Amino acid sequence: MLMNYSPRLRILLTAAAIGLALLPAPIAVLGVIPAFPSHKPFLAVYTPFLALLVLAYVLYVRDSLARVMFAHLLHPLAAVDEGESDNIRLKMRRGLIHARRLSLALVPALLLLISVFCVFRYMSLLTESITAAAQVRTGHTRLPSDTASTTPAERGIVPKALPPEAPTDSVIRGPHLESTSWQDIPNFNELTLLFVGIFLSPLLAVLLMSVREYAKEALQLTETDVVLGRLLTDEDAAAGEPH
């Protein structure tokens, strides 16, 4: 008798999803991923909250997702007959099914790549935000880009000169970082969205894999059935009963 790994794998993936949903809190509090001190409580509370909502919603609609994932087995297409007039339509439907199956297989990998992108983009934007906050606190602010082409005389003002050297790392990550309130954090919205994306993307990837294992278990599919793409026998398909 063939062994079905779906129940144990589904439990493992569900536990991993719950862990990913709760992980942002200690990550933010402990500073594993750098953040403005005033931004950490916001990230530690709302990121897990949003992740748990997404987790609950995906579990709520898991039946619909399961039917989409295995629609090609629940409603198999008839064999292509060269003499039938709807041959082209059947081929188009078959192509759409293959495209959907390929898309569902690639979505988890794409979500993981999005998470990696969010990590690098967050770190880059955080550095820019800290530098901007330090320049504001020290009074050395750059002019807006849309006024850079005009001269000070044309604007009637004389801009404050920039320091000859950029602020040192100790200055940027010292009192300016600590004393910046969350209302004054540059790029606050973008930083928040990127931080959420770091954890929400892999969470969705794990949830999709978990729903797939749930569907296999609910439909009583073995690994062989999934690989060979079979659910209904010819007799069962005619009677409308699952194998």
pLDDT value at residue 8: 78
- Is the full-model pTM beyond 0.75? no
pLDDT value at residue 177: 62
pLDDT value at residue 148: 43
In the chain, what is the straight-line distance between the N-terminal and C-terminal CA atoms, in Å?
A: 16
pLDDT value at residue 218: 74
Two structure tokens written together for 28: 């933010």
Question: What value, to the nearest 5°, has the Cα angle with vertex 136 and ends 134 and 141?
Answer: 110
Q: With left for phi above 0 and alpha for psi between -120 and 50, is residue 239 left, alpha or beta? A: alpha
Give the contacts of 41 (CB within 8 A, at least 6 positions apart). Answer: 28
Residue type, 61: V
Question: How far, CA to CA in Å, does 81 sit from each of 1, 75, 89, 240?
Answer: 36, 18, 11, 22
* Residue with tokens 């770190």, as numbered in its chain: 123
pLDDT value at residue 84: 52
* Residue with tokens 């504001």, as numbered in its chain: 136
Question: What value, to the nearest 5°, has the Cα angle with vertex 80 and ends 74 and 85?
Answer: 115
Question: How far, CA to CA in Å, does 180 sit from each of 37, 174, 195, 232?
Answer: 8, 11, 19, 63
Q: What is the rounded distance in angstroms from the CA atom of residue 149 to the CA atom of residue 146?
A: 7
Give me the tens of pLDDT residue by residue for the chain, a chain 243 residues long.
445 566 777 788 888 999 999 999 999 989 899 888 889 999 999 999 999 999 999 989 888 888 877 776 666 665 555 555 556 766 676 777 677 778 878 899 999 999 999 999 999 999 898 888 877 766 655 434 443 445 544 545 444 443 434 444 443 455 556 667 878 888 999 999 999 999 999 999 999 988 888 877 777 777 666 666 665 444 444 444 444
pLDDT value at residue 24: 93
Structure letter (DSSP) for residue 4: -
Question: What value, to the nearest 5°, has the Cα angle with vertex 15 and ends 31 and 223?
Answer: 135
Decide: residue 144, CB within 10 A, 0-12 exposed, 13-18 middle, 19+ buried: exposed
